[in-house]
Structure 1
Amino acid sequence: GLEFSCDVDAVPEGTIVFPHEPLVRVQGPIVQCQILETALLNMINFQSLIATKAARICISTMGEPVLEFGLRRAQGIDGALAASRAAYIGGSAATSNVLAGKLFGIPVRGTHAHSWVMSFDTEEESFQNYAKAMPNNCVFLVDTYDTIEGVRHAITVGRWLREQGHKMVGIRLDSGDLAYLSREARKILDDAGFQSSVIVASNDLDENIIASLKQQGAAIAVWGVGTKLVTGHDQAALGGVYKLVAIRRPGKPWEYKIKISEQAIKMTNPGILQIRRFHDRQENLGDVIYDREIGIPSDPVMVDPMDSTRRKKITPGLDATDLLIPVVRAGKLVYKTPPLAEIHQFLQDNLCMFHGGVKRFVNPHHYPVGLESKLNDLKTRLILKARGQAAD
């Protein structure tokens, strides 16, 4: 029988990565490496996409919590679970997916549906019955009929909750002009003595809409994001690839391999690759992709993979961290996966180490990522050789 015997190295979940960088390195018998391709790409591409989208959305809210509401719009049940997990890693505070909460320990949050309101004779009656059933978790969905009247009905039931020793957590807006309605709702709530009740908003939100709403002065404290989060809108897929970069026959040295193309972006980087991230105490300063066999000096020169004339020398003496770490050795798991809450926090800590210009949505600063110069020289030789332009 076939027994798995590969070595696997990978960047830890929650690590910020960039184009051209190797996220996983698999070394072992070639048939085993090839069998892993589809499964690895499926898991890594989709969940990296959703975690990235979640991180962008959370950046746009400027610290206000994001609730992942995407179960109904996700690509199947398994896709919904994977999306909830990835969104939590990416920064969302909670999910409406109760199964994801059970399986992964993600905090679960949500509100009642419009159908709950419509199943009663009046909106106020629906809120009253919800309050009796869930007195410690009352966020009333107020836009089933008339949003402003819905806020007033929520206040009426909120007063009853106070008399019972509970409090109204907040209201939720799911349609209409969210900037205007949230400001009006905030005034009504404050005037009625419900200053601590929050306004939750949803309705096809993404990072750009949220940023616009905040610029308009929306009085929204919690953001429910579903469809455009769990589908990765407007980037339908992450184009990660899984390529052969070196091969070693029994008793022989490594042979470096490269796939060439008329498109520079589709050319692969050869070698037993690792990423070294250089940083000081406050900020990450650049990533150098290098070959473990060739090695890397303490002050490497990085070469832009898309333009070999663009080069940057790393300042000597900087601290550095190699990003790919051992996960599997000789087919056996050697890495202990941290609790999901730790991965969630690790990503937030990671984000803080990048200059704000890297994280902006419009014309972001390009974080320096490049090939170590000797690796770039090797790549160039292999390209020329493959094109018949250089001798062995």
Structure 2
Amino acid sequence: MMQVTTTDLYEVTMALSYLREGMRAPATFSLFVRDLPPGRGFLVAAGLEPALDHLSRFRIGRADVREFAEVLGWPVETLEPLHGLSFDGQVRAVPEGRLVFPGEPLVEVTAPLPQAQLVETYLLSLLCHQTTVASKAARCVLAAGGKPLVDFSLRRSHGPAAGMQAARLGALVGFAGTSNVAAAVRYGIPGSGTMAHSYVQAFPSEEEAFRAFARSHPGPVTFVVDTYDTGRGVETAARVLGELERGPGCAVRLDSGDLGELARRARATLDAAGLRDVGIIASGGLDEYAIDGLVRDGAPIDVFAVGTRVGVAADSPYLDAAYKLVEYDGTPVMKLSPGKATAPGPKQVFRGPGLRDVVGLANEEPPAGTEPLLRTVMRGGLRTEPPDTLDAARARFEADLALLPEPARRIENPEAPVPGMSTRLGVLSTIVRHRIEARSGS
């Protein structure tokens, strides 16, 4: 459940100070990623829909003021200026599913300064986590080369909420299903599940477990075959499936060992039993690196079930993202810290053929042959259009992915495209830098 108190304390103290100083003029903050995580050639913009939900409901009530006062140890009256504050600003953003690169704003928020400041933490938390997981899942889609993927991440995610997000993000980038029942219902994602090893262990033998499972499943069934001896498990599954004559859709699941070699043996056993339409599902610590290796080796695996490593983006679990003030009261501002300098002014990303991007100013005319990526999704604190759909986000993702250059698509040692900077943005950066340095005596 969304709470306005889910924020860093300094957001509250800064906003209170702004209010007391009468600093309520419009401010623009830009949320962007400085550098891609290691092993990434692109990011998938994600998390915008829940972010807009948060902003549209944002309002500081009496109970929130009391909680702020309690944490600070101040009298409640001291924080009274915050009471009733809600978000009534504008949001420009890259729609979910689009591919983005370093230095490109995912979101720009323009609102009275206290409002724009207070929403920073929640926006960063939502957008960073979901963009990270969506990007990891997208690389699995690339590695699978068209074979279906299923989300199995709920049990190993960083909490149930993160598991819900992972299921939705998998669907956004093209996963075929999820084991997460709540996510399947909420987002309209096909549900997918097999059986656990504990189910097999609960019966006197694998064969009795398989037959019992089949009796309670009128349609296709999937048997996990590596509880004891994988080879014998496949033979038993083949015998039971052959007698059941359930038809297409049945499968065996391999969850441990040398998945490539075991899949070859399982395929041979199933084919010899006349079960060419019985599929092979692989799971067990899979991510894009393991999937890429299995696909390259020609392993006869039909479906990849991915969980832990994708749900937590195990190899690169965070983004070096920032939410920085770029304009206040009509004046462009920038940060000059070494390694963390920012460019001034509200911005736009102009995308040309082949995902060649240029970061420019928001009020620039788009260069010929380009399209602006950021669009206005909220004005006056209200959405400008109905909530986006997973189907629409998936279509954007697939269109961008088809244009992604080969170096950025690589699973090993990818190279991300480097966006350019427009002449006008470059000139403004120089002007603002000189102004700051002149004032500071640098």
The TM-score, its normalising length taken from structure 1, stands at 0.87
Q: How is 1:220-369 mapped onto 2 (pairs within 5 angstroms)?
A: 220-248=301-329, 254-263=330-339, 266-279=340-353, 283-284=354-355, 286-293=356-363, 295-296=364-365, 298=367, 317=368, 319-369=369-419
The answer (yes or no) to whether the contact 1:158–1:167 under 8 Å persists in 2 is no
C-alpha distance in 1 between matches for 2:376 and 2:338: 35
Which is worse superposed, 370-379 or 106-115?
370-379
C-alpha distance in 2 between matches for 1:183 and 1:142: 14
Describe the shift of the 1:196–1:297 C-alpha distance in structure 2 as closer, same or farther (beyond 3 A): closer
Give CA-to-partner distance per residue, 1:217-259, whole Å, 9 cap, x none: 31111101101000011012112211110011xxxxx211111
Matched letter for residue 318 of structure 2: A
Say whether residues 1:199 and 2:275 are aligned partners. Answer: no
Say whether residues 1:102 and 2:185 are aligned partners. Answer: yes
Matched letter for residue 37 of structure 1: E
Counterpart in 1 of 2:106? 23
Q: Which structure 1 residue ranges, 5 or more long, are not aligned?
A: 249-253, 299-316
Give CA-to-partner distance per residue, 1:276-296, whole Å, 9 cap, x none: 1112xxx33x11111124x24
Instruction: State the SS of the aligned residue for 1:176.
Output: coil
Describe the shift of the 1:107–1:341 C-alpha distance in structure 2 as closer, same or farther (beyond 3 A): farther
C-alpha distance in 2 between matches for 1:75 and 1:239: 19
Structure (1 or 2) with the greater helix fraction = 2
| Distance apart, 1:356 and its partner CA | 2.3
Give CA-to-partner distance per residue, 1:31-53, whole Å, 9 cap, x none: 11111111111111011111100
C-alpha distance in 1 between matches for 2:366 and 2:121: 35
C-alpha distance in 2 between matches for 1:200 and 1:389: 65
Say whether residues 1:379 and 2:429 are aligned partners. Answer: yes
C-alpha distance in 2 between matches for 1:320 and 1:353: 14
| Distance apart, 1:89 and its partner CA | 1.1
Matched letter for residue 231 of structure 1: V
The answer (yes or no) to whether the contact 1:206–1:225 under 8 Å persists in 2 is yes
Q: Which structure 2 residue ranges, 5 or more long, are not aligned?
A: 1-83
| Distance apart, 1:135 and its partner CA | 3.0
| Distance apart, 1:320 and its partner CA | 1.6
Describe the shift of the 1:297–1:87 C-alpha distance in structure 2 as closer, same or farther (beyond 3 A): closer
Instruction: State the SS of the aligned residue for 2:370.
Output: strand
Alignment length (residue pairs): 359
The answer (yes or no) to whether the contact 1:71–1:80 under 8 Å persists in 2 is yes
Aligned-CA RMSD value: 1.9
Matched letter for residue 206 of structure 1: D
C-alpha distance in 2 between matches for 1:336 and 1:291: 27
Residue 139 of structure 2 is aligned with which of 18, 34, 56?
A: 56
Q: How is 1:169-188 mapped onto 2 (pairs within 5 angstroms)?
A: 169-188=250-269
Counterpart in 2 of 1:303? none
| Paired-residue identity, % | 38
C-alpha distance in 2 between matches for 1:43 and 1:330: 21
Matched letter for residue 335 of structure 1: E
C-alpha distance in 2 between matches for 1:205 and 1:21: 30
Instruction: State the SS of the aligned residue for 2:426.
Output: helix
| Distance apart, 1:343 and its partner CA | 1.8
Counterpart in 2 of 1:150? 233
Matched letter for residue 287 of structure 1: D
Instruction: State the SS of the aligned residue for 2:397.
Output: helix
Matched letter for residue 108 of structure 1: G
Instruction: State the SS of the aligned residue for 1:121.
Output: coil
| Distance apart, 1:269 and its partner CA | 1.6
C-alpha distance in 1 between matches for 2:341 and 2:250: 54
| Distance apart, 1:389 and its partner CA | 9.0
Instruction: State the SS of the aligned residue for 1:63.
Output: coil
| Distance apart, 1:137 and its partner CA | 3.2
The answer (yes or no) to whether the contact 2:102–2:418 under 8 Å persists in 1 is no
Describe the shift of the 1:82–1:186 C-alpha distance in structure 2 as closer, same or farther (beyond 3 A): same
C-alpha distance in 1 between matches for 2:175 and 2:366: 39
Matched letter for residue 52 of structure 1: S
Give CA-to-partner distance per residue, 1:275-330, whole Å, 9 cap, x none: 11112xxx33x11111124x2463xxxxxxxxxxxxxxxxxx5x221111111111
Say whether residues 1:190 and 2:275 are aligned partners. Answer: no
Counterpart in 2 of 1:140? 223
C-alpha distance in 2 between matches for 1:215 and 1:353: 22
C-alpha distance in 2 between matches for 1:277 and 1:168: 42
